[in-house]
Every structure is written in structure tokens, then in C-alpha cells.
């Protein structure tokens, strides 16, 4: 449509009148009266508080928060000792990664280019995340991640759904509601987990002080949206005394008896439970290996932290982390069905002890090529043997694990490709004398 050149002359800001053609309204009312169907009335009004530009500005901050929370959870996977918390953290990494993916997609529909979305950084959010990471315990870490950042984000999402246009911006509302359906149960779990820490003896006052401190830091950057009234930041911040560095030691809670001097369960147990290479022996080894994939949550979580900002949102890595958390819980439950207390079976720490300080590309190759390809080499025979023996528990769990591991091998090859390409690029562009290792090529 071509607008006339003189459109801006003699601008009037009065209400534009309604002008009718004689008879049309009466005819329309007559036709409506003959229409027999009374469908549900859609009462959503037009309106809303945000322009597309303001919508994108807010969504971009949400995206960045989600991305940074995913990375932050990855950074603590080695350090968290409690089995239940480590396992849930593996799952939560994916909830945040998936939220970032939804938001990124919506942003591309709201006038933003993917490159600009991925390049967005915010120093205030970074300082908050780094301070959350400087927690002194897993309980403090959950307080920061979930009760401060997570709660503020979900509140912002609900407000956004209420304030934005209910008709023109429905895709944003749907995007945020899908995220809330993952994150509201996650926050309810976190509240219960923090209560469990307190009931188990963790100092409640210390956690309250830490929550207050982080809440003030969040307020000082204008809250999640950046548009809230700003207060003064608390002092001192832990990060100003000592920047955060991720842990390299795989921690386990007191229920576990661990070993790291061998990969062989019989050697670790000091003898065979079943004859070597018997079905019974292979079956128990498979179940124990799954439970001990708690080390894979640590491996993939750590990659996500170590390669932060070197790729766009790593959905594949985050999804694998969730799958490994599921394999861990599958193993734990299968131990119970096999008649064992899961904590009577010693936990193999060997993988995490080696990989904790390792360069991420090497660690990823080790787990993908040796761990996952290794599983696939033997799993078909194991499933057939289980079916022959009417061992339904092993047949059932191995069937699903086979399909997951096949998916991981396929995705893992791509991930290693991205990692090694980045390594090569980084080393060719690095200044003379600098090392192309993980920390020096970080984009941050």
C-alpha cells in the first residue's frame, strides 16, 4: 500500500470517527440473528504493555538468565555431594537449556537475529550468577539458583503473561507457559530439598543471610527484567575477594563407599559374586554401570560449563545430561529390584577422577568413544540373553538405554566436531605463547 506524500500534514490527535454506509449495520444484525450457534466467547482483549522492541528486550534478558543458569548448574555437578541433588541437577540443566531454546526461537520472531541473540551479554547478570556460584555448600547453591534466580524468573514470566497483549503476543505467552510447566515443579522440589538440608542440620540462618544478600544483588540490577527500581548492591561480594573456579573433585555423600583405583567391580569388591563372564555377573555389572553413570552427569555438566559461550545454546549436551541422570536413577531402581540396597554396592569414581581436570574435548571423546560405543558393542547380546532367561527387568531397562546411547553416539560425534573445530580455530588465532586449552579460549 502506497501512503500519500502529504499524510503527515495537519495531524489531528482526536478520536477517528466511525462512518457507516446506510443499511449495512441493520443487515448485519439481521444475519447475526439467524446464526444459530453460540460458541464459547473469546474475551481476550487487545492491548498490553509492551511494544515488540520492549518485548524482545525482556525476552533477551530471560534467555540470558536461562543460559547462564544452565551453565551454572553444570559448574557444580562435580561438587554437589548429595545423590538426590546431583541427579535432579542433571535434569534441571536440561529444563534451563530447553527454556533458552524456546526463548531464542521466540526472539527470532520478534525482530532479533540469532547472532545478536547469542552475542548478548549482561555484566550485571554475570555478576549475580558468579556470586551464586560462589556458594559455600550445595544448600547455599540451591538457595541462589532456585530460591533467588529461579523464583524471580518464574515471577517475571507470570507477570509478562499477564501484562503482554493476550492476542497479538500469544506465542510469547505460550512459550513462557511451557517453560513454567517445567520450572514450577523444579522450584517446588528445590524448596523441599532446602527444607531437607535444614532438617538435616544445615544452619537456616546462614541460608537466610545468603538469600537476602543475593536478593539485594538481583534488585541492584533492576531484577530479572532490568526495569524494576534499583537498590544499592550489598557489600562485600564473595567474587570480589575470590573469583569463582569450578571444582575438580567428584564428591559423594556419606552413604556411598567409593573406589577409584580400578574399573573392575570384582576387584573393587575383593572377589567375585558370580563366575566371571556368567550372565549373572554381566547383568549386575550392567546395572551397576548405569547407577555409576552419576559420573556422566558430572562429565556432561562440566562440559557445559567449560565450553560456555563457545557454541550457541548446547541443547544436545544438556539433553544428554538429563538422559544420564535418568540412567543413574534407572540403575538405582534396578538395584532395588535385583534385591540390593543401592548403597551396599560400591560406587566407581574412576571416570570422574580422571575427567574432572581434563580438557573438555578429550573428556567428551573419552566418554563418547569408549563409554557409549563400548556399551553398544555388547548391549544387543545382553538384551537377547535377558529375554531368553525371562529376566524382564534387565530386558526392559537395557532396551531403553540402548536407544538413548545410540542417540548419544550420534549426537556426540557432532559435539566433538564442534569442540575440536573450536579448539583448532582458537589455537590458530591465539597470540604466540598462549595455550589453546579450555580456559584460555573461553569467549568470556
- Cβ closer to Fe ion: 75 or 415? 415
Give Cβ neighbours of residue 294 (< 8 Å, ≥ 6 apart).
83, 86, 87, 328, 347
Helix, strand, coil in percent for the chain, rounding step 5: 65, 0, 35
Task: Kindly state the smallest distance separating residue 320's Cβ from Fe ion, in Å.
Answer: 6
Between 292 and 324, whose beta carbon lies closer to Fe ion?
Answer: 324
Question: Which residue number, 138 or 320, has a Cβ lying nearer to Fe ion?
Answer: 320
Could you say which residues in the range 292-321 bind Fe ion, by CB under 5 A?
Answer: 293
Q: How far is CA 396 from CA 89, 324, 372, 437, in A?
A: 25, 17, 18, 42
Inter-residue contact 202 to 139 (CB < 8 Å): yes
Q: How far is CA 366 from CA 95, 290, 299, 314, in A?
A: 26, 17, 10, 19
- Which of 278/380 has CB closer to Fe ion? 380
Interacting span for Fe ion (CB under 5 A) from 22-30, 70-78, 286-294, 333-341: 286-294
| Angle CA 331–335–337, to nearest 5 | 115
Stretch that binds Fe ion, among 35-43, 76-84, 124-132, 287-295 (CB under 5 A): 287-295
Q: CB 94 → Fe ion: shortest distance, Å?
A: 14
Least separation in angstroms between CB 234 and Fe ion: 42
Which stretch in 101-109, 161-169, 203-211, 404-412 sits in contact with Fe ion by CB under 5 A? Answer: 404-412
Please check whether residue 256 is in contact with residue 262, taking contact to mean a CB–CB distance below 8 angstroms.
Answer: no
Q: Using the minimum distance from each CB to Fe ion, give the nearer residue, 183 or 347.
A: 347
Report the site for Fe ion in 346-375 (rule: CB under 5 A): 372
Q: Is 408 one of the binding residues for Fe ion (CB under 5 A)?
A: yes
**What is the spatial distance between Cα 310 and Cα 419, in angstroms, rounded to a whole number?**
8
- Whole-angstrom CA distances from 377 to 190, 212, 383, 406 are 39, 52, 12, 11
Q: Which residue lies nearer to Fe ion by CB, 156 or 419?
A: 419
CB 296 to Fe ion: min, Å: 6
Should residue 291 be labelled a site residue for Fe ion when binding is judged by CB under 5 A? no
Kindly state the smallest distance separating residue 147's Cβ from Fe ion, in Å: 31
Q: Cβ closer to Fe ion: 131 or 324?
A: 324
Dihedral sign computed on CA atoms, order 196, 199, 201, 202: positive
Distance CA 382, CA 395 (A): 8
Length of the chain: 444
Total residues contacting Fe ion by CB under 5 A comes to 5
First to last CA, the chain: 47
Cβ of residue 275: shortest distance to Fe ion, in angstroms?
27
Please identify, using beta-carbon distances, which residue of 403 and 429 lies nearer to Fe ion: 403
Q: Which stretch binds Fe ion (CB under 5 A): 105-113, 158-166, 189-197, 402-410?
A: 402-410
Does 327 engage in binding with Fe ion (CB under 5 A)?
Answer: yes
Residues near Fe ion (CB under 5 A) are: 293, 324, 327, 372, 408
Amino acid at each position: 500500500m502506497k501512503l500519500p506524500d502529504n499524510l503527515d500534514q495537519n495531524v489531528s490527535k482526536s478520536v477517528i470517527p466511525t462512518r457507516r454506509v446506510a443499511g449495512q449495520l441493520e443487515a448485519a444484525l439481521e444475519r447475526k440473528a439467524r446464526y444459530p450457534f453460540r460458541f464459547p466467547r473469546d474475551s481476550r482483549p487487545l492491548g498490553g504493555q509492551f511494544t515488540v522492541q520492549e518485548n524482545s528486550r525482556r525476552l533477551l534478558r530471560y534467555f540470558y538468565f536461562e543460559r547462564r543458569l544452565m551453565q551454572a548448574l553444570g559448574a557444580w555437578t562435580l561438587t554437589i555431594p548429595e545423590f538426590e541433588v546431583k541427579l535432579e541437577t542433571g535434569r534441571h540443566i536440561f529444563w534451563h537449556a530447553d527454556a533458552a531454546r524456546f526463548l531464542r526461537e521466540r526472539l527470532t520472531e520478534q525482530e532479533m537475529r540469532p547472532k545478536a541473540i547469542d552475542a548478548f551479554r549482561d555484566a550485571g547478570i554475570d555478576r549475580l550468577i558468579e556470586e551464586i556460584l560462589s556458594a559455600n555448600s550445595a544448600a547455599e547453591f540451591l538457595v541462589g539458583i532456585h530460591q533467588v534466580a529461579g523464583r524471580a524468573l518464574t515471577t517475571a514470566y507470570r507477570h509478562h503473561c499477564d501484562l503482554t497483549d493476550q492476542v497479538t503476543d500469544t506465542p510469547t505467552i505460550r512459550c513462557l507457559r511451557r517453560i513454567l510447566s517445567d520450572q514450577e515443579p523444579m522450584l517446588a522440589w528445590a524448596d523441599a530439598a532446602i527444607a531437607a538440608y535444614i532438617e538435616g542440620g544445615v544452619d537456616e540462618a546462614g541460608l537466610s543471610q545468603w538469600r537476602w544478600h543475593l536478593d539485594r544483588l538481583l534488585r541492584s540490577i533492576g531484577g530479572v527484567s532490568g526495569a524494576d527500581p534499583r537498590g544499592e548492591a550489598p557489600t562485600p561480594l564473595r567474587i570480589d575477594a575470590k573469583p569463582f573456579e569450578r571444582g575438580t573433585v567428584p564428591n559423594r555423600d556419606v552413604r556411598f563407599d567409593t573406589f577409584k583405583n580400578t574399573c573392575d567391580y570384582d576387584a573393587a569388591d575383593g572377589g567375585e559374586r558370580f563366575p566371571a563372564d556368567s550372565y549373572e555377573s554381566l547383568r549386575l555389572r550392567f546395572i551397576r554401570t548405569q547407577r555409576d553413570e552419576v559420573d556422566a552427569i558430572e562429565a556432561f555438566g562440566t562440559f557445559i560449563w567449560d565450553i560456555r559461550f563457545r557454541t550457541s545454546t548446547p541443547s544436545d549436551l544438556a539433553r544428554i545430561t538429563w538422559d544420564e541422570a535418568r540412567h543413574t536413577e534407572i540403575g538405582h531402581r534396578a538395584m532395588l529390584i535385583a534385591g540390593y540396597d543401592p548403597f551396599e554396592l560400591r560406587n566407581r569414581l574412576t571416570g570422574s577422577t580422571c575427567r574432572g581436570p581434563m580438557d573438555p574435548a578429550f573428556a567428551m571423546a573419552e566418554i563418547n568413544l569408549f563409554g557409549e560405543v563400548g556399551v553398544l558393542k555388547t548391549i544387543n547380546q545382553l538384551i537377547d540373553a535377558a529375554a531368553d532367561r525371562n529376566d524382564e527387568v534387565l530386558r526392559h531397562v537395557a532396551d531403553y538405554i540402548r536407544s538413548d546411547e545410540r542417540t548419544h553416539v550420534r549426537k556426540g560425534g557432532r559435539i566433538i566436531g564442534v569442540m575440536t573445530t573450536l579448539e583448532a580455530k582458537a589455537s590458530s588465532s591465539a597470540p604466540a605463547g598462549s595455550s589453546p586449552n579450555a580456559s584460555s579460549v573461553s569467549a568470556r
